[in-house]
């Protein structure tokens, strides 16, 4: 029997409460919460990947605003002090990770909500309460979007299909069913049996540690492979489709996702296998004309040379550790959103879908 999805993150208490999230750095061997009572704790959780995945980062950031303003006494603080603190908190949280657009989208939405509330009509305490409700709305909307993505995307999958996925785009990266994994979970709900080949996703092994863990808990046939085995799996005809998530999508459909996604898309094209991206509409950044403008986070040397505490590279060796790469739109068969499937992927079809 499948186990119900874990609550990746949740708010505990009222406007003076805190954010609790699954510490994903401990999976798959320990399922343990991390409680964030300060904005610094939320920033650290995002930075070190205790919470990760574009939608989940956005939700965590929204709750992070609620945590951050708790340094004020809601009964005595002035509206000017609240405005200043919101600006400080949103600016600070925006420095945690540069690539996932949901982070900035959520912070802008929280800031916009505060600005929309008339100081003449609402007290500081009422604005704080309203901000918590806004964060909860972001959370609820993501849950609904993930289920809708699954409904649209499951139509692309048939019974007995073999699928390759990369990194983690399940409930751990969002609020419940996930984006890419929502297709698999929904297909399972419909009675389809799938086999999912899960790339390890080096250097931090999100596929091995997180995606394989989620799929096994749902009793979906799961095969863990090293990243460099995907081509052989395709060549042997074991996989008929590739499905990944996304962290930011440019106006033309170029898509940033975990490093290794671009290479997987090239392999899929070579073997005549469709490559799909699953992402909610708030992952699109229409201010960027193409993927060339998407900022790519470069992470520390130690993730490569001393991954998980074991030295695997010689002392003093240079490293290059980009956390993401960009898959050109012409390699993507379709982008599955909560509104439907965008195919072919181009500016016109993206705008038409997002405005529907």
Catalytic residue ranges:
247
Task: Give the C-alpha separation, 12 to 245, whole Å.
Answer: 28
CB 154, CB 336: distance < 8 Å: no
How many other C-beta atoms lie within 10 A of the C-beta of residue 158?
12
Cα distance between residue 346 and residue 334, in whole Å: 10
φ/ψ of 11, rounded to 5, equals: -95, 135
Cα 264 from Cα 159, distance rounded (Å): 23
Of 191, 152, 171, 147, give the one whose Cα is nearest residue 277: 152
258 near 201, Cβ under 8 Å? yes
Asked if 203 contacts 321 with a C-beta cutoff of 8 angstroms, the reply is yes
Round to whole Å and give the CA distance between 195 and 215.
Answer: 10
HSE at residue 220, side-chain half, CA atoms within 13 A, is: 32
């Amino acid at each position: 029997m499948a186990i119900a999805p874990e609550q990746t993150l949740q708010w505990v208490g009222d406007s003076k409460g805190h954010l609790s999230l699954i510490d994903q750095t401990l999976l798959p061997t320990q399922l343990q919460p991390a409680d964030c009572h300060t904005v610094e704790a939320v920033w650290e959780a995002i930075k070190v990947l205790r919470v990760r995945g574009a939608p989940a980062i956005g939700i965590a950031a929204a709750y992070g605003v609620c945590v951050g303003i708790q340094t004020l006494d809601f009964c005595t603080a002035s509206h000017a002090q609240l405005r200043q603190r919101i600006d400080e908190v949103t600016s600070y949280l925006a420095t945690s990770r540069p690539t996932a657009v949901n982070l900035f989208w959520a912070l802008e939405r929280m800031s916009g909500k505060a600005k929309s509330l008339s100081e003449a009509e609402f007290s500081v305490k009422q604005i704080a309460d309203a901000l918590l409700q806004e964060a909860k709305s972001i959370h609820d909307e993501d849950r609904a979007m993930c289920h809708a993505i699954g409904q649209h995307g499951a139509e692309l999958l048939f019974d007995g299909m073999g699928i390759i996925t990369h990194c983690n785009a399940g409930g751990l990266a969002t609020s419940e069913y996930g984006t890419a994994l929502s297709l698999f979970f929904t297909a399972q709900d419909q009675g389809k049996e799938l086999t999912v080949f899960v790339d390890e996703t080096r250097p931090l092994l999100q596929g091995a540690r997180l995606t394989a863990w989620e799929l096994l808990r749902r009793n979906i046939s799961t095969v863990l492979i090293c990243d460099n085995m995907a081509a052989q799996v395709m060549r042997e005809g074991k996989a008929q489709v590739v499905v990944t998530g996304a962290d930011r999508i440019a106006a033309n459909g170029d898509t940033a996702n975990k490093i290794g996604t671009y290479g997987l898309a090239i392999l899929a094209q070579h073997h005549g296998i469709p490559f799909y991206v699953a992402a909610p509409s708030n992952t699109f950044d229409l201010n960027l004309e193409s993927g060339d403008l998407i900022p790519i986070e470069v992470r520390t040397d130690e993730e490569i040379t001393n991954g998980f505490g074991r030295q695997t590279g010689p002392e003093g060796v240079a490293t290059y550790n980009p956390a993401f790469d960009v898959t050109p739109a012409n390699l993507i068969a379709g982008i599955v959103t909560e509104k439907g499937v965008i195919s072919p992927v181009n500016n016109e079809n993206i705008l038409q879908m997002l405005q529907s």
